[in-house]
Amino acid sequence: MSDVLLPSADDAYASPDAQGFFGPYGGTFVPETVMPVLAELEAAYREAQADPAFAGELRTLLTDYVGRPSPLYRADRLAEATGLGAVYLKREDLNHTGAHKINNTLGQCLLAKRMGKHRVIAETGAGQHGVATATTAALMGLECAVFMGTEDIRRQSLNVYKMRLLGAEVVPVAEGTGTLADAVTAALRHWVERVEDTFYVIGSVVGPHPYPAIVRDFQAVIGTETIAQMAEKSIPRVDAVVACVGGGSNAAGMFYPFLRDVPAEKRPLLVGAEAAGLGLESGKHGAALTKGSPGVLHGFYSYLLQDEAGNPLEAYSISAGLDYPGVGPEHSFFKDEGLVRYEAVTDREAVDAFALCTRTEGIIPAIESSHALALLPRLAAELGPDAVVIVNVSGRGDKDMDIVREAGLGVD
């Protein structure tokens, strides 16, 4: 497997420019109070990138604490059920804490310590990033507060309890729809107030520069491992790689190494699955790339669900991790450049894929990851019965039992 853990700052491909832009997207649109802190963060990250001791410490944690590398598992019954030649599941659900989020929180909390900050905050939607941050804070002895919308607290009560068990304070956010976007805003507001002693651990490839690049780099271990595992398993050809996209961190972590390290002519089709919610025409979805237009929210310029006056719209998805009105700026760049294709998947399709994966493989995926799995039948129709597809199973579905039960899978 590749010994590159963190991409180097001078990678030729798609690093943001000096002002944090991926093409026209990204940048730093935040109140002045936090601008100097973002500059400090960038400097600290560049130093850490160049420091073998930092990569070494992170590598050890990823191996011994998270359990990496996560397997690339050949799911034959799922392939047969979806009419594909082969399906491989990248098992981020097997990570400690049950999702890809821990890859990023370990990196950022190590950075926080390096910067001398003893208190971290985070926003969370499904609760996975909150749990991962609370876990990492417990491991490293950091004080931790997690901002979470009241609706998400209702939908994900188990994760709320876990965070409290781990010693984190869960701060309820009742504003707006009480979901992820409101939690991000509340966390940003809080950070402006406590910027001197507090590190904001952003959970996805969103926010002002340098966060989208930092989070992508910490998640790039997913794609780097996948490429190495394809060689180890002598998988001759992969036709498509699929990941779900809310903010887009598991997808960025999977796609970025393919874009950076695999020549275009050998590169599989890269497909991101956004949340179509109740349908793209229903107005109740989270498909920023498919249905949005460029704008600024939460400090960066990217595709965004917004009204005519430029106010962010409420996103909706059955999945708390995907109902975000924006999307990471690098995904907007990938979309415009045609490097990644983005499709939207409804709640119903995601629930069906959840059930199928569970019944054919005995793997209960997160409802977020189920959006990616839902693309398998479409890809079979497009690419034919011999096609080989990798799906990033970004997390496990234990947290989603209540939601799936409400959706009615006919087992009760």
Partner 1 sequence: MTDARDSEDAVRPGLLSSPDSAPAAPNQAAEAAPGRSASSLGAAFSRSGAVLVAYVMAGYPDRAGSLAALDAVASGGAGVIELGVPYGDAVADGPVIVEAGKAALANGFGLAETIALAGEFIGTHADAPPVALMTYLNPMMRLGFPRVAALAAEAGVSGFIVPDLPPDSPMTDRWLAESEPLGIDTVFLAAPTSTPERLAALGARSRGFLYVVSSLGVTGERDELAAGLAGLVERVREHTTLPVVVGFGVGTPEQAAEVAKIADGVVVGSAIVRRQGEPVVLGAFVRELVAGVRGA
Q: Which of 123, 225, 274, 368 is catalytic?
A: 123
Q: Is 281 a catalytic residue?
A: no
Residues in contact with partner 1, total (CB under 8 A)?
A: 49
Gap between the Cα atoms of 408 and 412, Å rounded: 8
Nearest CA-CA partner of 2 in 231, 234, 215, 270: 231
Total residue length of the chain = 412
Residue 7 in contact with partner 1, rule: CB under 8 A: no
Q: Which is nearer to partner 1, 10 or 412 (CB)?
A: 10
Gap between the Cα atoms of 120 and 140, Å rounded: 11
Q: Within 13 Å, how many C-alpha atoms sit on residue 290's CB side?
A: 23
How many Cβ atoms sit within 10 Å of the Cβ of residue 33? 12
Q: Which is nearer to partner 1, 265 or 308 (CB)?
A: 308
Residue 21 in contact with partner 1, rule: CB under 8 A: yes
Span interacting with partner 1, options 22-30, 71-79, 219-227, 385-393, rule CB under 8 A: 22-30
Residue 96 in contact with partner 1, rule: CB under 8 A: no
**According to CB under 8 A, which one of 46, 154, 293, 386 is a site residue for partner 1?**
293
Please give the structure tokens belonging to residue 159: 């994760």
Please check whether residue 71 is in contact with residue 91, taking contact to mean a CB–CB distance below 8 angstroms: yes
Residue 17 in contact with partner 1, rule: CB under 8 A: yes
- CA R_g for the chain: 19
DSSP-derived 3-state class of residue 88:
strand
Span interacting with partner 1, options 66-74, 187-195, 261-269, 282-290, rule CB under 8 A: 187-195
Rule CB under 8 A: which of 192-231 touch partner 1? 192-196
Q: Is 234 a catalytic residue?
A: no
Q: Is 123 a catalytic residue?
A: yes
Sign of CA dihedral 287, 292, 294, 297: negative
Residue burial 331-345, b: 16+ Cβ < 10 Å; e: rest:
bbbbbeeebbebbbb
Gap between the Cα atoms of 297 and 199, Å rounded: 20
Span interacting with partner 1, options 8-16, 104-112, 154-162, 235-243, rule CB under 8 A: 8-16
Residue 28 in contact with partner 1, rule: CB under 8 A: yes
Q: Which is nearer to partner 1, 253 or 326 (CB)?
A: 326
Place of tokens 């990616």: 372
Q: Which of 162, 330, 394, 399 is catalytic?
A: 394
Gap between the Cα atoms of 120 and 332, Å rounded: 28
Residue 16 in contact with partner 1, rule: CB under 8 A: yes
Q: Which of 90, 101, 335, 399 is catalytic?
A: 101
Rule CB under 8 A: which of 36-75 touch partner 1? 36-37, 39
Gap between the Cα atoms of 318 and 244, Å rounded: 13
**Contact letters (x/-) for partner 1, 294-333, by CB under 8 A?**
xxxxxx-x--x-x-xxxxx---------------------
Q: Which is nearer to partner 1, 8 or 33 (CB)?
A: 33
Q: Which is nearer to partner 1, 308 or 412 (CB)?
A: 308
Q: Which is nearer to partner 1, 30 or 111 (CB)?
A: 30
Query: Residue 377: exposed, middle, or buried by beta-carbon count in 10 A (0-12, 13-18, 19+)?
Result: middle
Please give the structure tokens belonging to residue 306: 């917004």
**Contact letters (x/-) for partner 1, 141-180, by CB under 8 A?**
----------------------------------x-----
Q: Would you report the helix, strand and coil content of the chain in percent, each value rounded to 5?
A: 45, 20, 35
Contact footprint for partner 1 (CB under 8 A) = 14-19, 21-24, 27-37, 39, 175, 181, 185, 188-189, 192-196, 293-299, 301, 304, 306, 308-312, 336-337
Query: Mind telling me the catalytic residues?
Result: 101, 123, 394
